[in-house]
Amino acid sequence: MKKLHIKTYGCQMNVFDSNRMEDLMVAIGYETTPTAEDADMVIINTCHIREKASEKLFSDLGRLRPFKDKKKEQGSEMIVAVAGCVAQAEGEEIFRRSQVVDIIVGPESYQTLPDLVGKVIRDKKRQINLEFTPNDKFDLLPQSKAGTGASAFVTVQEGCDKFCTFCVVPYTRGTEYSREVSKIYDDALKLAQKGVKEIYLLGQNVNAYHGLNDKKEASSLAKLIEKIAEIPQIERIRYTTSHPRDMADDLIAAHRDIPKLMPFLHLPIQSGANNVLKGMNRKHTRQDYFKIIERIREARPDIGLSSDFIVGFPGETDQDFEDTMDLVRQIGFTQCYSFKYSPRPGTPAAEAKIQVEEDVKTDRLARLQKLLGEQQTEFNKKFKNEIMPVLFEKEAPKKSARQHDSGKMQLWGKSPWLQSVIVDVDSEKDLAKYLGQIAQVKILQARPSSLVGEMIVN
Ligand code: 5AD
Ligand code: SF4
């Protein structure tokens, strides 16, 4: 068997795409290997959304050079493919800058990967495919392999038409495209039959979902969730990432009416200042956001809230940043992502004359992250001594075992609010019994970014 190594950067969409590329390659006789050194094929699935994406790529490629040379000396070959959003954004330029690369393939055309690999081997020629063919893409992808685990991603929507002025997504992933309800339902059903208990619906702008149903009418995300909730084995449904503009009434109501929809919402706001939001072309105000949060809390009072923030967007003043801090204090988030603004070539904001100084960005980010960290810890603490259902996805990594210091085998799972929960198990038998299952857990200890609990045995 030939060996395949995949390195993935970026979001859950990229993780999903990497898994599909693995499925494609496994179907033509490859198996995965954790290291690039001895691989016959290396795929670097890139992310272009923030900071130094192409530098990272070229340093990765530089590191592959000696391995590729060694393979050649041994009379075999290492095929190197660059996939993902940097591939889409930089295209042929990657061939010019690196001799190591054999294939450049975009996020909407990687279903052709086996074909491209065949051509590289046969014709000894570099291959590039950056077409936008989402329809073909999903039809041509093989079913995910067995042993998918307890939680699985299903892409329901790709691309984005919002054109926030800082963001590359509309350029790298193209305009919005929603898959048909029946195809998503079939994917979810097949996953359920393989033991998956949680479906994670993915899209760059997932709540703008408008895929066709059996009557050829556009379905909302809420309707799609309702449909997937009909699958008995699926016990949990989540979705990400949403835009405030698309937080439709029926989606808010779904959080009240569909028990399988987990009490968690990732709703990026980016900034708490209206003039910054305007400059970002976010198409919503601070007040709109407060209103949505009020309504979602009415529908589902225990909802955990998460967001994305950018500090140091061009023109952001001290007062603007204080507005963001104030919004965070008023809302209270349970976990968030926050970044320094990084100019992305080709996006409007990158052209702005008034860029914020690096040390100001660093300072603002540190202050924001401190506050967000405190809120997360506060939220986690509320669960001490509480009992909650946890979906156990895997054995806990060794690091957390040492942190917890019990020396025992441990399972890692997720709470309904997306917290990591770590629980001791006494034997291999128990490990196997709980893995992939939802079990009741009593929380003993709350850490800043995880909970430690014990199994409730009836
Ligand atoms: N600079 C910093 N952060 C960015 N994001 C997207 N583009 C940029 C950029 N140019 C962040 C946004 C988005 C998240 C996925 O990445 O917060 O919601
Ligand atoms: Fe990028 Fe804005 Fe679209 Fe999100 S909504 S993917 S930030 S353009």
DSSP string covering 177-229: EE--HHHHHHHHHHHHHTT--EEEEE-TTGGG---B-TTS-BPPHHHHHHHHT
Per-position pLDDT tens, the chain of length 458: 999 999 999 888 899 999 999 999 999 999 999 999 999 999 999 999 877 778 889 999 999 999 999 999 999 999 999 999 999 999 999 999 999 999 999 999 999 999 999 999 999 999 999 998 766 777 777 776 655 689 999 999 999 999 999 999 999 888 899 999 999 999 999 999 999 999 999 999 999 999 999 999 999 999 999 999 999 999 999 999 999 999 999 999 999 999 999 999 999 999 999 999 999 999 999 999 999 999 999 999 999 999 999 999 999 999 999 999 999 999 999 999 999 999 998 899 999 988 999 999 999 999 999 999 999 999 999 999 999 999 999 998 765 544 455 667 899 999 999 999 999 998 889 899 999 999 999 999 999 999 999 999 86
Is the whole model's pTM more than 0.85, yes or no?
yes
Instruction: Indicate whether residue 205 lines ligand 2 (CB < 6 A).
Output: yes
Which ligand sits nearest to residue 270's alpha carbon? 1
Candidate of 164, 206, 269, 347 to mutate for ligand 2, largest count of ligand atoms within 8 Å of Cβ: 164
Question: Which pLDDT score, from 0 to 100, does residue 76 have?
Answer: 92
Q: How far is the CA of 222 from the centre of ligand 2 (A)?
A: 20
Query: Rounded to an integer, what distance in angstroms lies between the CA atom of residue 247 and that of residue 296?
Result: 9
The two tokens of residue 358 are 């690096």
SS3 55: helix
Q: Taking the alpha carbons of 445, 446, 452, 454 in that order, is the dihedral positive or negative?
A: positive
Q: How far is the CA of 164 from the centre of ligand 1 (A)?
A: 10
CA 160 – CA 158 distance, rounded (Å): 7
Is the beta carbon of 344 within 6 A of some atom in ligand 2? no
- What are 84's strand-pairing partners? 46
Q: Give me the residue label for tokens 């309800």.
A: 181
